[in-house]
Amino acid sequence: MAYTPPNSFSAGTALTSSNVQGNVDALRVYLHEGVVPADLRNAQFIDGRHVQPPLYDPIRGLQHGVTGYQGGQWSGGAAVRVTFATSALTGRRYTGASKFEVLPGTAFSLDIRAPATCLFHYWFELEAGPDDGARGPGTDERYTYVAPYVGNVGLVISSASLETVNNYNGWSASSVPAGAQNPHTWVGYGQHDGVHLHTSTGPQRYTVGLAALSTIDRTAILNWGVAVEVTYD
């Protein structure tokens, strides 16, 4: 049956805190344990004014509402918030170890409240090298790989790696256009994008972002953007 307050008030009677609190407590019990199908209308009875608005986080560019998360970050334009990948951090150049490292600024940590479907979108532009140092593989065999990860950098989805080869041909002699001598994705300049789909089984702290592994001594990620969509199932 529908909610009926245990205490009623009429004109001229004292309004006591205990009676008001009794009605509130009874309503709480009804909402959590007492609602049955017969209490609900067959027609639509909920509209926008009944739905709690999302919370917006301007620092991370995210909003969290009743259906999940949505938002993103970007670098602000070419060379505004440059981030880097280097063989000095990943270690592969000198030790042969295959170790990805986080690309700063490209990750989100979310407090997911329920099982959810998560979409991570990303794009980036980078300049790889030129690296003509004596140590490591041949100059035309040095690469930078960028891939998404979920949870921590030890859980990189390596099958989604996007590669750019070292700029072994050097820079263009002309100032216009500036860039690598051969401005193709496979010789010194990379323009990539991707989407990763993942599911979360329940409430958890969820982290997703980009990581890089490089055999090139210096790779500048000149421009980038990341976005996340989380839909509660």
Nearest alpha-carbon partner for 163 in 137, 134, 195, 187? 187
Report the alpha-carbon distance of residue 138 to residue 201 in Å, rounded.
Answer: 45
Please tell me the predicted confidence (pLDDT) of residue 192: 87
Topology, domain 49-232: Jelly Rolls (2.60.120)
CA dist 122 and 130 (Å) reads 25
**Residue bearing tokens 């982290």:** 207
Determine the pLDDT at residue 126.
87
Please give the Cα distance from 79 to 81 (Å, whole number): 6
The DSSP bridge pattern shows strands 55-57 and 108-112 to be unpaired
Please, where are the H alpha helices in the chain?
A: 17-29, 87-90, 92-95
- The predicted pLDDT at position 20 comes to 93
C-alpha dihedral sign at 232, 152, 219, 167 = negative
Are the CB atoms for 144 and 214 separated by under 8 Å? yes
Radius of gyration over every alpha carbon of the chain, rounded to an integer in angstroms? 27
Specify the pLDDT at position 184: 45
Q: How far apart are CA 89 and CA 139, in angstroms?
A: 19
Spell out the per-residue pLDDT of the chain, length 233, in tens: 678 899 988 888 888 999 999 999 999 998 888 888 888 878 877 777 878 888 999 888 899 998 899 999 988 887 788 888 888 777 665 555 668 888 888 999 999 999 999 999 999 988 887 777 766 556 667 888 899 999 877 788 888 888 888 877 665 555 555 555 444 444 556 788 899 999 888 888 989 999 998 888 888 888 999 999 999 98
* Amino acid letter, 154: G
d(CA 119, CA 226): 11
Q: Where in the chain is the domain with CATH 2.60.120.40?
A: 49-232
Cα(126)–Cα(32) distance, integer angstroms: 53
User: Does the pTM exceed 0.75?
Assistant: no
Mapping DSSP onto H, E and C, the string for 24-60 reads: HHHHHHHHHHHCCHHHCCCCCCCCHHHCCCCEEECCC
